[in-house]
Chains A and B, each alone.
Chain A
């Protein structure tokens, strides 16, 4: 019963959207490409940061356990960080290509 009343409340809130649809096309068109570009770049950067944090954390831990293996760990860390970084950069390139 409570879920049903919440559902109806949500659906009735959607009625507020109708006036916005009514005036579509009159005012200056909103640049949806730019807004989406901002969101997608933020998402890409955030996820890339999480991935790099995980890589750096395990590299630091491995280095603490076995300092003698430093060259190999350093190589794997730098390679991993650059590959993850490049994934966020692909998003940036699409933005440069598509946003006026």
Chain B
């Protein structure tokens, strides 16, 4: 039996049977059949349920005349994200706000949940930031195709200057194609590793100082972890916005 958090233990106790059966249908044998749900998955599920509950509560309390504190908070976050995406993307950037806001809240809560005893950050496991990065990657590629149609593929040929002769533009395009593809894939890698390494290093450094000075000093690192969580969420959203701008913005 693997080491489980209390929430994971509850979920495995309730759902281990059906989930193992489903996995076996897909020819996947779970490593521990009595505990197929991983800690990270259970924590992500908890964050998801919490966010759905908060959004449902917010939706029921929306009011134009007398906005409550919850509405003010969410409107503040929306102003921040919309202002930033308008600055970076240009016009028609409001369509991307829902995705960016949900991603921001999800990553932020996943980062912060590790601070509560009895829970651990799902983003400290490499696959969770990979999932978030893949979501962002497919989102901006899909937005690029939606905005420009099949002509979006011209983005992968690098910059093209109509004034240069065709004999220069074709070799340049052939040279730029693998570079652009690798650069796009490297974006997924860098988003993943940046988020994962920051969260994992925060955990490790707290543990190291806990083993040296058990009283008082680790709390400084937990405070640093809060700051790093906020900053890394902001950076993830900022970089997703920049990649969106690269895919969607019109050339002047």
Contacts and interface: CB of A to CB of B under 8 A. Distances in A.
Q: Which 10 A-B pairs have the closest CB atoms?
A: A89-B197, A86-B194, A82-B235, A93-B197, A93-B193, A92-B197, A90-B193, A86-B190, A92-B201, A79-B238
Contacts, number: 34
Interface residues of A, number: 12
A89 B238 contact: no
Nearest to A88: B197
Size band of the interface chain B makes with A: 10 to 19
Interface of A: 71, 75, 78-79, 82, 85-86, 89-90, 92-93, 96
Nearest to B204: A96
Nearest to B198: A89
Interface in B79-93: 84, 87
A89 B200 CA distance: 10
B80 to A, nearest CB: 12
Given A78-B231, A89-B197, A89-B201, 8 more contacts: A71-B87, A75-B238, A78-B234, A78-B235, A78-B238, A79-B238, A86-B190, A89-B194
Nearest to B197: A89
B106 to A, nearest CB: 19
B235 A79 contact: yes
